[in-house]
Chain A
Amino acid sequence: MVTEYVLRKLEEILGAANVYASPAQVKAYECDGYVAFKSLPGAVVFPESTEDVSRILKLLSEERVPYVARGAGTGLTGGATPTRGDVVISLAKMDRLLSLDLDNHRAVVQPGFVNLELTKRVSGRSFYYAPDPSSQSVCTIGGNFAENAGGSHCLKYGVTTNHVTAATVVLPDGEIVELGSSFGDADGLDLLGLFVGSEGTLGIATEITVKILKKPQAVQTIMALFDRVEDASASVSGFIAEGIIPAACEMMDQLAMQAVDKSRYHVGYPSDVEAVLIVEVDGLEASVRALSQRVMDVCLKNGVREVRSAKSEEERALWWSSRKMAFPAIGRISPDYMVQDGVIPRSRLADVLKRIESISQTSGLRIANVFHAGDGNLHPLICYDSKKGETEIAQDVGRQILELCVDVGGSITGEHGVGIEKIVEMQYQFTQEELALQQAIRDQLDPKGLCNAGKLIPTPSRCMEMKGVAHPTVSSMEQILSASASVQTHIAR
């Protein structure tokens, strides 16, 4: 509960202008990019420094008030959604680039600093920041840190954890700690690695040191249109078998192409191809030319209908926009959509896509597919209409797809995290013992269970609840969340 006392204290720390408490002010914060679950925050606060965050967490810890950190609110699994009247700690005003060390390829940013903004700030000197989630024009590096965000180019360059070298983190009791080291591996246990991707459940990062890279000398982007998904999949396996590591290797199916072609980012895809591959190779001028030829050869060997490389920077940018805007463009063909984020072994692509198609047919919901084909990271976009009461069917379809991913040897998340959305599937992925171990680590750092509680790891009580419910509906989700809240309060005592 956010009491009057807590509000007054928060205002003392941050000033009244940085504390929103009335329902009218906080309503827009009841969900992030995942809209299937909503719940009103107790307050929304805007710290501007590490010290602010530390003072807030000390207060909330003492008063046993739950809280959740939020960046741009573009997350797709409800990671920044309050679940029990939490205080939403918006980091949107902590958006400064603190320092830049071009000689040593390092930048230090506050968590609310926007991903693409970093590339913009250093591109004049031929540098860039490699992790590039589709939402990079708006998502924050703090959010990327929490979710261990990936992106189109993580096939070659790795995900966020490969680019964060150090961080200042405020622990749930308000203590400020430095994790990692700007250069070289930190000694001892890799605690920084533990924090990256912990979905804001272990503390709040307030200063993040990341690597910035020198832009490759040359880039070539290739578009390949396939009559059959199987041929596109075979080409992806073909690149890897040939020893080519593309900088990016993305696939979209016909429904996704249709949606994005209806948007501003119109490419004009043929309406009778089943799949398009967008492949990028980069490196030295000479090698790029040879590599792109090899990529095209592999496509030709696998029955591509048409393959060519971008003729201009403008065309290349359009192709990439078409891929990156594909998720929200689904709004053009469906009132609501839910995006899934499963990972499978690359060799199983064609097979898994067929099975997703049959799930789609059984459920009656259309599913568009957009994914990082190179690393087997699927993003099935489940189209539904919440007004027709299809939300629960969509959630069930999502669950079936994730279980399928686990069944073929993959996992339930590549880059979007677990949040609220996939918390039940965590039990499909992990045994009780494994989950208990994760919970034990979390309890060490957040013994009172206040820090983005109810996310990522299902509590034991939830596991039992789950056995009685095939899948959490929104209303059962509410019961479960409140049940786990009481358990956690109990543990805390």
Chain B
Amino acid sequence: MSTQIEAMVRQTSFPFADAPDPAKFSVCVHCGFCLEVCPTYQEESNESHSPRGRVYLIKLASEGLIPLDEGVVSPVETCLDCRACESVCPSGVQVGALIEEARGQVYLARVENKKASGIQKLFLRGIFPYPARLHALGSLLRFYQRSGMQRIVRGTGLLRVLPDAMREMEGVMPEISAQRALTTLPERIPVAQPKRSVGLFTGCVMDVFFSQINEATARVLTKNHIEVHVPKRQLCCGALHVHAGDREQARQLAKTNIDVFLEEGVERIIINAAGCGAALKEYPELFKDDPVWHEKAVDFSARVRDISELLVEENFEKPKGRVERRVTYHDACHLCHAQGIRKEPRAILQSIPGVTLVPLPDSERCCGSAGIYNLTHPEMAGNLLERKMDDLPETIDAVVMGNPGCMLQLRLGVKKRQQDLDVLHTVELLDASYQKEGVTYGN
């Protein structure tokens, strides 16, 4: 039998819809230039846990040459989806998209075999899609922190029964925001002579843990004569669902968000969380097989901007208030690798009087946060966090970034090492500087 006929007869090991796209893996020429930038390869030296290995195994499974078993699942699940490989790939392989598509197959295979984990299902399907439940969870956590329960729990040693990773995260959980910015910010914040109108995407983790950053984002935008809309019906972006392979739920969320923001008629959709930003920009990937929604997704994505990207694009007003800080900047993977945003946040930081920006060696290496990777793969995440902490320059008083996941992870690192170091978002420093020169909230 000729190899071509064999290939036709062979069954793919990815039996479900929306499988890894052959056009994506056939671009890989197996040069291996991606190996050394891959955090998991750096740690394990295992070809199967390198981008080239992962793409190769996905290709073999797609062609039915290997089964969808541990040989594929483990490589696909250990990937941080950090996209560092995409930044160096001369051939332009979309490794992240391939991994996400493969995870979709793994997820569906598990659903079929009723093996999807309870916690995963609870969070992905039961909580994140529903703002009210997310809010309730936030309130519960807040009650837990405020009521003294947290102190009691920490005191009794009850935490010892929790898995290490959960226990560690509990330790650094920031004070839950009293109110989500999605609730507190007005639906429309008008400005005199607006240059633009934008929709603010408030996100989940960002809004539950760092709603003050969303507020700062709104202030910074209005300061720059940009009218801010906060559509109240917006939902979770679906990034965590895509990462976990639950693509159908992600599509449902995406459809609502697309409709809500397009109906709002805003020129730009602004996001301050790198992970969400990448997901929003990649909505068209979710609708490859649906021409109607694909077109809408393309329209939506073309409007999405990271806050730093928009500020530079709009030639933001140079801040005048002095903020005496010595900081370093950590490149969130989904900002630098997935969105190619590197210069903009640095330009913003350097524009602030009093801020000294100290370079961070290997600033584009993943900190190990990677969505919920630090919960699913605590050991690898822990090793990467250690390396990141080792790299931080000694003389700084804050480390700045543009993603809430990284912020939680870095806080964990700071706490573990008992360092006197603030973990901040780029916008917070810009906002602080604007505040010092006296800014009014909206009009």
With contacts A137-B36, A138-B35, A325-B90 taken as known, whether A29 is within 8 angstroms of B47 at the C-beta atoms is yes
A331 to B30, CA, bound (A): 10
B120 at interface by CB-CB < 8 Å: no
Quick check: is B53 within 8 A (CB to CB) of the other chain? yes
Pick the contact of A389: B3, B45, B89 (CB < 8 A).
B3
A293 at the interface (CB under 8 A from B): no
Chain B residues within 8 Å of A425, by CB: none
| A-contacting 9-mer, from B21-29, B195-203, B282-290, B426-434 | B21-29
CB closest chain-B residue, reference A263? B90
Q: Is A35 in the interface zone, CB < 8 Å from B?
A: yes
Contact among B7, B27, B30, B93 with A35 in the assembled complex (CB-CB below 8 Å): B30
- Decide if A270 is an interface residue (CB 8 Å cutoff): no
- CB of A258 to closest CB in B, whole Å: 13
CA A33 to CA B69, docked complex, whole Å: 25
A260 & B90 in contact (Cβ 8 Å cutoff): yes
With an 8 A cutoff between CB atoms, is B15 at the interface?
A: no
Query: Does A112 lie within 8 Å of B71, measured CB to CB?
Result: no
B56 touches A328 (CB 8 A): no
A114 in contact (CB, < 8 A): yes
Known: A24-B70, A264-B90. A31 touches B30 (CB 8 A): yes
Residues of A contacting B186 in the complex (Cβ-Cβ under 8 angstroms): none
Complex: how many Å from CA A135 to CA B90? 11
B25 → A minimal CB distance (Å): 10
Q: Decide if B32 touches A74 in the complex (CB within 8 Å).
A: yes
| Interface hit among A89-97, A176-184, A204-212, A447-455 | A89-97
B-contacting residues, A1-37, CB 8 Å: 22-25, 27-29, 31-33, 35
Query: Are A33's CB and B57's CB within 8 A?
Result: no
A129 within 8 A of B: no
Complex Cα spacing A32 to B8, Å:
26
The interface size bin for chain A is 35 or more
- The answer to whether B90 and A73 touch across the interface, beta carbons within 8 angstroms, is no
Q: Does residue A409 face the partner (Cβ distance < 8 Å to B)?
A: no
Taking the nearest CB of chain A, how far is it from the CB of B65, in angstroms?
Answer: 9
CA distance A90 to B46 in the complex (A): 9
- Name the residue of chain B whose CB is nearest to the CB of A44: B47
What residues on B are CB-neighbors of A262 within 8 Å? Answer: 92
* Contacts A72-B32, A336-B29; A389 near B4 (Cβ below 8 A): yes
Contact A73 B32, CB 8 Å, known A24-B69, A112-B45, A264-B90: yes
* Complex contact B3–A137 (CB within 8 A): no
B45 near A27 with CB under 8 A, answer: no
Do A329 and B33 form a contact, CB below 8 Å, given A25-B48, A28-B53, A46-B45? no
Given A92-B45, A389-B4, the answer on whether A263 and B32 have CB atoms closer than 8 Å is: no
Q: Are B66 and A332 in contact (CB under 8 A)?
A: no
- Measuring CB to CB, which residues of chain A are less than 8 angstroms from any residue of chain B? 22-25, 27-29, 31-33, 35, 46, 72-74, 90, 92-93, 95, 112, 114, 135, 137-138, 260, 262-265, 325-332, 335-337, 387, 389
Selected A-B contacts with CB under 8 Å, 13 pairs = A24-B70, A24-B71, A25-B71, A27-B66, A28-B56, A29-B47, A33-B30, A73-B35, A74-B31, A92-B45, A114-B36, A263-B92, A326-B90
